[in-house]
Structures are given as C-alpha cells and as structure tokens.
Chains A and B, each alone.
Chain A
C-alpha cells in the first residue's frame, strides 16, 4: 500500500503545468483530487515517474455562464458543483448527479475534470456529460481544441486526449432547472453504480439519456431516444434501453441482469424527468 517512488511537481500556473506535461508526456500523470489515482498507485497498478499536481490551480476552478453554455473549470471540486447556484438554475442535472458521487470527503477533493479524464465507465459524471452533450476542452502548448463528449472516449479509461494535453474545461448546454432525472443503482450508498441512468431534456425538447456501466465507455440509450422522438410511450421506449450495450459481468451483476436493470431505471428516470 505504498506507491512506487515518483517525482512530484506542483506548478504554480496552468502554463507551467502544460510545459511540464509537454516535457514528460506519457511518463507523467496529472493529480487533481487524487481519489482515483492514489488508490491505483498504492496498489501499484499505476507507477508514474512524475506526478503533476494541478489541484491548487485557481485558474481551473470556476463555473460561469458563457453564451448558450455553462463553462466549468476542470479543477472545480464536486462540492462546488453541488452547491452552485448557476448550475442549479442553468443545468440542474449536473449538481444532482454530482451529489451522488462517493461520500462528503470524496466530494470535497474530487474534480469534474479528473472524473472525465479518468473515464471510468462506472463513473457518474461521464454519462451525465454525455447526456448533456457537453464539450471537453483540451489544451497543450500546441494550442486548444474542443472535443464533443460523444467523440471523447475510445475505450475503458481511454480517450482521444494526447499525453501532452490537459483537460481544462467542460462546457454544457443551459438545459434549465427541470426536465432531468438521475437513477443510480448501487449495492451500498457509497459504491460505484451497478447501473445508472441520466435523463435530461435538451433545449430543443428532445430527451437524451446517458448510461453508466453498460459498456466500456459511457453510452447513450439511442434506441430509447429515437422511440421517444417517434412519440412512443415511456414504457415502450424504456424497454429498448439495453440496445447496443455490452454491460460487464462482476460480483454485482451479470450482463443479463444489467440489461434488465437499465430498462427499469430508464423508465423511472423518464417518468421523473417528465414531472
């Protein structure tokens, strides 16, 4: 339970952090809240040569309305998202989902950017941002690029982010205070979701559905979304929620069970979102 030795750097600015990342590339790992990284380092499942701590960069800690979107700094702690008045008004799904992450200690340390960069398919936030059709902002000394979340993940714990890039911002549409729901199904209150379903009503009125732990990346329940667009009932549409998913098998559930569970949770989430 003691990590392999590593170098530690705590840059004082975003630019300095980007320079360090560019210098060390794949040998470096970025530390923010540390609740995903430190356990795997202690179990010696990860052994980075250098850890770049961006946890105290104030430049990455903000929540503000920007045109049709809300921009959230990657270093924003879960706790700040949970209590954000801006998000409660402009994008209420996000604080609701964030409130279910871990426990109070985790929520005071963990960051939105960290959760998205880590990309755990059992994590709450990747699927929520997917339902919101958010945008990931990546930056390196080479410049900045915006990647739609729909194109961000490439597999388990992997994304299109290059080793020299830092996830600096998340942008979500202003979906408002209503028309959303999050159904998280766990064994214990603090566990990762066995399955979870995030539903949000987009500005155009369409309902979008993000699925947690139903495949190697967060997924959209596309068949359900399409059925709803065609005017099918919630019951009919929710029954299609497992289409195109490849859920994992573990102690908490078989793939067959998860395929069933996702239909139940999708129906409940849609009913809640409908008010």
Chain B
C-alpha cells in the first residue's frame, strides 16, 4: 500500500503524541460558558422565553386563552400561533411537502411537547408561573405511536398529505425476485428493533437573540454547525443570511442532535424583533427529553442466506424508520443504513429498502452514528443468527466472509466505495487480546456446571462512513508579529478537542509551539463558511484544511523571505526549532522568523480543502457479559475494542472519543430507550426514568490499536467520533444473547433489561418443553 506523505516519519514530530487538551483547564476550573451562562452586554435586559407545550400527543386546538397569563406578574408579552407570521417550514427537503412544521402550533398538535404559545417575562420563574395560566382547549385525537400502525394510514397526522408516509426516496422500483435466496442451503429471517434513544447532552437546547440598530440579528446558540444553522434560520425568517450572525459559546455536547438549527432558534429571533428587546431561551431537561430530536427508531427485517460451510450468499434488509411528528434529518438516515447494509462482508447479493413514517412522537434526526450503527446492528445480528443456525463459531464465520485486503478499494453491493481496510486482521487482533479461546472454554465450563452466572461472548466486525455528505472544509492560519498564531476553522468542536488538535497540526508545520496557537470557531461573521462538526468528519476535512493552510503559509513565508534574505526560494527552509526561515545547510547564515515576516506584511492563508469523498474506518469489538439466568440481569464485564481510523493524531483525544463512544454503544444495548405509551405520552422524560449509564454500569475499556491510513487525504486520517458506538453496541447485544443461547434463546431486542432477558429465557424454555 502506498504510504501517504503525512505518515513519513519525522524526528521530533508532535503528531501522534499525547498532548494534554488545552481547553480542559477552563472546563475543569471555572467551568464552561454555555449559551444560558452568557453575560454579554448585548443581552442586558433580555426577556426570558417560556414555551407552553402540548400535554397531548395528538389533538386539535379549539382555542387558546392567554388573557390570564398576560396579566400575570412580570409578563411582557404572550404569543400564539395566530400571532406568529413565520411560515410553517418543511424541515427536510425530501420529506412530503405537506408535512410542514409551524413555529407555534395553530390548529393541531402532533406530539407531546409541541410549542403552542410563547410567554415572555422579566424573570425566568415568572414564565413558568404564567405558562401554567395559558388555557388551551384541546380536542383529543387518536395518537399513533407504533410505526406499523402509522403505515396503515388510519390515523393521519397531516390529513392534507393523505398519508403518513414521509418519503419514497429509499424505495426500490422493483423487487429482487423469488430466486434471491434460491441458491442458499440455509435462510434465517427475523424482525428486530433498533430502539429510539435520546442524545441527552448535558447542555440542553438554548438560544438568545438581539437585533442591532443596523437591522442585523445576532443569535447566540448551541449547535454543531453555526454556518448552516445561520442559513436555515435565515431561510425560515425570510432574511438574507448576511443580516444574521450566529455566535456559539461553549457547546455542552451534541451527539448529532444539535446538527443545524432548531425551529426555536428562529422563534427566539422573531420574538426578539417583535418585542424590541433581547430575549433568551433555555429549555429544561424534561422539555429536552421530548423537544430535542431523538435517534435510531428503526424496525428492521433481516434475512440472511448461505451455505452450511459458512459462505454467506445473500442478505436482505427491510427498514421502517420513524420520523416522528415533523420529518427532519431522520428522513435521510436510512440512506446510510442501506449503503452500509453489507457491513464488512463481501456478500454477492444484497438488497435493501426503507420506508419512513410519521408518528405522533418527537422528531428524529442524527444520533452518534446516524444510520450506520443501525446497519451494523442488523448485519451483526444476522451473522450471529446465521452462525447459530449452521453451528459455526461467530468469529470464524465473520472472518470467512469479510472483504479481503487485496480487494480494496472495494465497491460494495450497498454502493459504498471502501477505501482501505484489513477486516480479518482486526477480528484476529481483538480476539487475541480478549483470549477468545480461553473465554469460550470458560463459557463451556459454566454451561456444563449449569451456573446461575453464565458467560456470553459477543463479536462485532464493523465498517462505517466518516466525513460523508459534507466533504469541503476551510481553515485560515495567520501568524502574528508577536509570534502567536490564530487558526480559524469551519468545524465546530463541542467536546472533540479541536483547539488542541488543530494547534498540533499547525504547530507541526510552523514550528511554533501549541501554547502560542489559538483556534477560533463558531462565529459566522468571523468565519462565514464551514460545515461544522458531525459525522466524524472534522479531522479528515477541517484538520487536513489546517494542515494544508499551514503548509501553504510556510511556502508564502519562503517567498517573502527570499527577498529579505536575498536567496533563492529553493535554498530556503523552515527551521522548526526556531520558527524561522533559514538557508539550507548554512547554519549561522541570515534568517528571518515567521513573526518578523508577519510584522512587515500580513502573513495569513485561507485554504479550502475538498476531500471529495468519505473514508471508511473499521474495527472489531469483543464483549464479555455475565448473565444471571435466574434474574435475567446482564452485566458487561469486559470489552476489547479495536477501532482503526488511520494514523492517530493525539492518542489522548482518540481514546477519549472511543471511551465516550463505547459507553454510548453499551448504553443503547443495555439501558437506553425512549418509551411512549399508546397515547403518545413519554414515559422516559427524566433522568430517573431514562437509562443513561454512569461509570458504575460500565467496565474499564480495553483498547486495541491498529492504524490503516486512508488514501483520500495526504495525512491518512479517517474519523473516530462514532466508531466506538458502532462497534460496541452489536458486540454487547450479541454477547448477552450468546450467554443464553444454549437455553434456546436466539434474539432479544435492545435494551437488554433484566425483564427482557428473563422473559426470553422463559419463552425459549417453554417452547422446547
């Protein structure tokens, strides 16, 4: 394999070293400054927005009486949908054009938590009191929570649309034919649920807005991409994007759920204009658990066929995806699920299809992995079901069917072009680290003895897409006369450590230490273009842009230095020890520092990098669980994770991303599920009810290293932000089912709660009786 230039080993390189995150001292001492913490003078005297939210999942609104609220203490204004002249918006272009979202509900509400009125008060507490006084007369309608029920179109969310089906974008024109599985000795099929989960970032949604005398609006808000959020809000408000400025204070987690703008951002800007004062809005946790977009929510039918020797020949994935009440980014995600359907395997025949349906629930969008984990979970369950059916070891079955190293670049039947990978090696290394054979022997002993605590071993092999969809990113690198450096980036860190990582990349090329480099992001006046941070894209797009800009800056500096030093540019080089341009091979000769050059003329480079395509990181996880077969309680004991995302820029940040990702994957497998009752009432709207894990529910993570560079950029970098989630979740689900497979259990849907595991054991035993 060709070695990308970035990998050529360099003496004293900062790349690949464990630089402690420069952003952490503030987070760990005085704390971050989130949107709601802002004391910006432009927000002086801001009114607080409290949104009156629907307690019903589906109802028509007969009337809204706001008189009593208007007269309550501290209330400056109350607005309803009748007052609001922001045109209802289509929140995702490919959705049914009739499925428009009003910014305040007018005639109908479609999920619990939908905003029906906005109360503006001098103090925040007055808003909650006054909101209680808004009297909404609802006429309840039947809720539709179940996706299959919704597909029947008996209860319609949008009667004007005539259907609950959101899009035809994932449907095929024709069926694959009856002979799809005809040449298979064994065919296994099963319906599985990839349950709805909540991103639950520690910082809930927030936005503040004010209008300047120049007619421009500034919105401080919590998002993963300021520039596209600005464009969305401008579109909703019918404004020129130039008249809108978005500023991002610290953002306390996003996990995909803060991609783009929320309709509330536009509402806050509109309210500010309406009352002629700055306003601020920050939702409560309970509001967040119904108002913020949620993830996954797919019903999948998997069918896998092949021969008894372990050759997988055909795979079919049929998806129903839940869009929630108002279609958003969740509409698009089955595209990734379908593209990644075959996973790491070279399967001759692959077929997939997806329907997306509206239900009277919270809207869905991206959540860590966003469409790819759903594909991985499906194929990895399918592989285990197939292995069980033919009596083959699941790790062996995987190795037999993965794409081989010599097949890269490999175009899959899902339509993806895998850049680089060594999938069998990853499985081998993870299994070796876990002492897979030893674990199987221990499992056999426990089964033999009939222990109450049974051992389960789960394997996953995965590949995913990073930097998909938004390939272009920009960076500006400027050296100042005082020797400091400013980096402007179009990425939007909210925990990813770009302040450190981008400084490392610039430092490497400029020979200026990290502590003299400041990274700025998230102000659309300062950085008008950029795609933000999502889809594990930042390093391979924005990071490479920083690298390229710094390289260009050195070239620019050499051109300028050629005049100063009266030397040919070809004879010059940057001495990274001093940050100066020197004549090659002439120590002691004249030199000029980058800082001095910057003192004469602005030394600044803007670079836009187009990756043109995504990369495909991969890996293998091995999870070990103990299942108490008497109570059904499963405990994750160990997890060995190999996540190969190319060369590692900073092992501290790289491993941190994996830790968080693995935790979220385990959380989905074991604990988390957003539940609505049949009337559409949320049953998991607090952290007491919703199962986010603490450290006590998680094992220590065993990380296995492998670095296979991509060929799509000079640095070899792929993305790692979502890898841990994608790999760990199926490994853990497979492990729990493996622990009780000798009792006849073949599948248990996530989350693998004690009651579900116990019920599965009981049903399997009753079936064999």
Contacts and interface: CB of A to CB of B under 8 A. Distances in A.
B631 A261 contact: yes
What range describes how many residues of A lie at the interface?
20 to 34
A2 B124 contact: yes
Contact of B128 (A2, A189, A251): A2
Nearest to A260: B758
24 contacts: A1-B285, A2-B128, A4-B129, A5-B125, A39-B688, A43-B286, A44-B132, A185-B754, A187-B691, A188-B693, A189-B696, A190-B694, A192-B688, A251-B689, A252-B754, A252-B755, A253-B755, A254-B755, A257-B755, A261-B631, A261-B754, A261-B758, A264-B631, A265-B631
B459 interface: no
A194 interface: yes
B753 A252 contact: yes
Interface in A229-268: 251-254, 257, 260-261, 264-265
Contacts of B691: 187-188
Contacts of A44: 128, 132
A191 B285 CA distance: 18
Contacts of A265: 631
A257 B754 CA distance: 9
B630 A2 contact: no
Interface string B179-211: 000000000000000000000000000000000
The 4 A-B pairs with the shortest beta carbon distances in the complex, nearest first, are: A189-B696, A1-B284, A2-B125, A253-B755
Contacts of A43: 286, 686
A191 B670 CA distance: 14
B573 to A, nearest CB: 58
A194 B758 contact: no
B353 interface: no
Interface in A1-55: 1-2, 4-5, 39, 43-44
Contacts of A5: 125, 129
B286 A188 contact: no
Contacts of B693: 188
B444 interface: no
Interface of B: 124-125, 128-129, 132, 284-286, 630-633, 671, 673, 675, 683-684, 686, 688-689, 691, 693-694, 696-697, 753-755, 758-759
A253 B673 CA distance: 14
A188 B673 CA distance: 14
Interface in A184-224: 185, 187-192, 194
DSSP class of B's interface residues: helix, strand, loop or mixed?
Answer: loop
B694 A189 contact: yes
Contacts of A261: 631, 754, 758
A191 B671 CA distance: 12
B289 to A, nearest CB: 12
A253 B675 CA distance: 14
A185 B671 CA distance: 15
A29 to B, nearest CB: 19
A1 B128 CA distance: 8
Given A185-B633, A251-B683, A257-B759, 12 more contacts: A2-B125, A5-B129, A44-B128, A185-B754, A187-B691, A190-B696, A251-B673, A251-B675, A251-B689, A252-B755, A261-B754, A261-B758
Nearest to A1: B284
A185 B631 contact: yes
A122 to B, nearest CB: 11
A1 B675 CA distance: 21
A251 B682 CA distance: 12
Interface string A140-180: 00000000000000000000000000000000000000000
Contact of B697 (A189, A253, A264): A189
A156 B753 CA distance: 26
A251 B694 contact: no
Nearest to B758: A257
B694 A194 contact: no
A194 B689 contact: no
Nearest to A103: B694
Nearest to B73: A5
The winner among B675, B683, B691 for most chain A CB atoms within 10 A is B691
B58 to A, nearest CB: 22
A39 B685 CA distance: 13
A1 B286 contact: yes
Contacts of B631: 185, 261, 264-265
B751 to A, nearest CB: 9
Contacts of A260: 758
Given A1-B284, A1-B285, A251-B689, A188 B696 contact: yes
A28 to B, nearest CB: 21
Nearest to B630: A264
A252 B673 CA distance: 11
Contact of A187 (B125, B285, B753, B759): B753
A189 B635 CA distance: 12
Contacts of A192: 688
A39 B758 CA distance: 32
A114 B689 CA distance: 22
A44 B759 CA distance: 36
Contacts of B124: 2
Contacts of B632: 257
Nearest to B673: A251
B733 to A, nearest CB: 17
A190 B697 CA distance: 10
Contacts of A187: 671, 691, 753-754
A185 B753 CA distance: 12
A258 to B, nearest CB: 9
Contacts of B759: 254, 257
Contacts of B688: 39, 191-192
The winner among A39, A192, A251 for most chain B CB atoms within 10 A is A251
A188 B694 contact: yes
